[in-house]
Amino acid sequence: MGYSRPLLFFILPIILGLHAPGIADDDDNGVCTLTADYCWSCSGTNETFNNGSIYERNLDTVLSSFSSNKTEINSGFYNSSLGQGPEKVNAMALCRGDVPLNDCHTCFNESISILRQNCTNKKQAIIWAQRCTVHYSNVSIFGVAEDDPVKFVPGPTNTSNAEEFKLVLNPLLETLSEKAAAGDSTTKFAAGHALVPANQTIYAIVQCTPDLDLQNCSDCLKDAISDIPKCCEGKKGGRVLRPSCNLRFESNLFYDAASDSLVNLPGKQGNNTSNITTKVSPSSFLGLLLSLCLSSAFAFS
Ligand SMILES: *[C@@H]1O[C@H](CO)[C@@H](O)[C@H](O)[C@H]1NC(C)=O
Ligand SMILES: *[C@@H]1O[C@H](CO)[C@@H](O)[C@H](O)[C@H]1NC(C)=O
Ligand SMILES: *[C@@H]1O[C@H](CO)[C@@H](O)[C@H](O)[C@H]1NC(C)=O
Ligand SMILES: *[C@@H]1O[C@H](CO)[C@@H](O)[C@H](O)[C@H]1NC(C)=O
Ligand SMILES: *[C@@H]1O[C@H](CO)[C@@H](O)[C@H](O)[C@H]1NC(C)=O
Ligand SMILES: *[C@@H]1O[C@H](CO)[C@@H](O)[C@H](O)[C@H]1NC(C)=O
Ligand SMILES: *[C@@H]1O[C@H](CO)[C@@H](O)[C@H](O)[C@H]1NC(C)=O
Ligand SMILES: *[C@@H]1O[C@H](CO)[C@@H](O)[C@H](O)[C@H]1NC(C)=O
Ligand SMILES: *[C@@H]1O[C@H](CO)[C@@H](O)[C@H](O)[C@H]1NC(C)=O
Ligand SMILES: *[C@@H]1O[C@H](CO)[C@@H](O)[C@H](O)[C@H]1NC(C)=O
Ligand SMILES: *[C@@H]1O[C@H](CO)[C@@H](O)[C@H](O)[C@H]1NC(C)=O
Ligand SMILES: *[C@@H]1O[C@H](CO)[C@@H](O)[C@H](O)[C@H]1NC(C)=O
């Protein structure tokens, strides 16, 4: 007689030790630390390199340039390729748009050590930290909108008024997305807040890797917004993390106040305390864009 299949399914994960300790969850799309300060993914591929290989050497060289303070600070985005053919490493590192450039290397450094420890010998890996993202692959990743992996990080708290909340959250994110997509080849980031009736504020950021063109950035963020019901339905906060773009919203100011501004949404007509009486049409935001301030708010030297 064969093995009992249900029994095997129950026992196999235990034998294989698949329940890694110290992580909040575990699925194909990635894992996070308990506090979700870092989320990463390297499980979507079987492609590995050997210790001492040229690939490993190239990877270490590229990654250490990202975390070195000697690397020139010009924007929060770094990309680099090293090597030939199968040994070629492609990597990029992106700081959140409001983070002072002087802090980027530190975020890269911490993120890279977590990746190298938890994605041992994987040719492809990505980590989303609170303040930066690092991604490497043997496949070219520049200028390409990637759909995999996607990691959802819902916040812990429910909203008390999910419907009203959604009526503000979606247009807020759509407005910010248009602004971010219109950014230049060094920065595609937007941040801002909007007010929900019943005395609530939503703070949000959206960001694309700036190697994407306007259309790919816009499409990526559109997909991220459409993931919100799956990710964070009814939550006061959450993050949708993709390789090429990400979004985050919270009920508190979680980014640099210098990057903050009130985003006026259609139907509210600038009266921030007014009740929402107009149904919001997602297609009516383009006109608003022109009135948005496009300054990228890097106010330091
Ligand atoms: C990884 O390997 C496993 C078993 O060897 C296989 O079932 C799976 O499809 C592979 N995944 C990829 C992405 O190649
Ligand atoms: C590479 O070395 C690390 C320890 O530094 C070890 O955990 C890992 O299994 C080794 N990988 C291979 C493919 O030998
Ligand atoms: C991170 O920085 C420390 C020094 O502060 C350095 O020793 C280490 O090699 C760096 N890690 C990476 C991955 O670059
Ligand atoms: C880089 O500089 C920051 C401060 O600007 C410092 O905290 C950090 O330790 C430095 N990192 C390295 C690897 O020297
Ligand atoms: C980095 O990205 C830019 C586009 O933003 C591209 O032109 C450049 O070739 C990339 N760098 C490398 C080393 O591939
Ligand atoms: C990731 O690496 C850290 C540090 O080595 C370790 O504590 C943690 O258990 C690792 N997590 C996973 C899922 O392997
Ligand atoms: C990436 O590495 C895997 C495994 O070594 C290989 O099958 C694949 O062709 C590589 N892709 C590229 C673009 O080199
Ligand atoms: C948009 O992304 C796709 C892949 O996702 C890529 O083939 C295309 O070239 C990109 N568009 C531009 C204009 O770069
Ligand atoms: C939050 O909402 C979900 C479903 O919308 C519900 O299952 C859960 O119990 C709620 N949590 C709290 C703390 O109210
Ligand atoms: C908004 O207006 C509706 C009726 O138009 C009312 O039922 C609701 O209580 C009002 N909400 C607030 C927060 O004033
Ligand atoms: C709105 O909320 C803030 C802080 O949560 C509180 O200080 C203020 O009194 C509230 N205002 C009203 C009208 O409820
Ligand atoms: C905005 O709405 C509030 C409450 O409905 C009202 O008291 C206030 O006068 C309005 N402000 C403007 C500029 O219309």
* Ligand 8 pocket residue status of 220, Cβ below 6 Å: no
Over residues 20-59, the pLDDT tens digits come to: 333 444 456 789 998 899 999 997 778 999 999 999 999 9
Asked whether the whole model's pTM tops 0.95, one would answer no
Q: Whose CA is nearest to atom 7 of ligand 10?
A: 275
Q: Whose CA is nearest to atom 2 of ligand 10?
A: 275
Q: Whose CA is nearest to atom 6 of ligand 4?
A: 106
Pocket-testing residue among 159, 161, 275, ligand 10, by greatest number of atoms within 8 A of Cβ? 275
Contacts of 180 by beta carbon, 8 Å cutoff, 6+ apart: 188, 189, 190, 206, 207, 208, 217, 221
113 Cα nearest atom in ligand 3: 13
Q: How far is the CA of 73 from the centre of ligand 5 (A)?
A: 16
Write down all domains in the chain, each with its CATH number in brackets: 23-142 (3.30.430.20), 152-266 (3.30.430.20)
Over residues 210-239, the pLDDT tens digits come to: 999 999 999 999 999 999 999 999 999 999
Over residues 126-155, the pLDDT tens digits come to: 999 999 999 999 999 998 898 889 999 999
Of the candidates 244, 291, 45, the one whose C-alpha atom is nearest the C-alpha of residue 144 is 244
Over residues 76-102, the pLDDT tens digits come to: 999 999 999 999 999 999 999 999 988
Q: What is the pLDDT of residue 235?
A: 96
Q: Is the dihedral of CA 255, 125, 91, 179 positive or negative?
A: negative
| In the predicted structure, residue 1 carries a pLDDT above the cut 80 | no
| In the predicted structure, residue 293 carries a pLDDT above the cut 50 | no
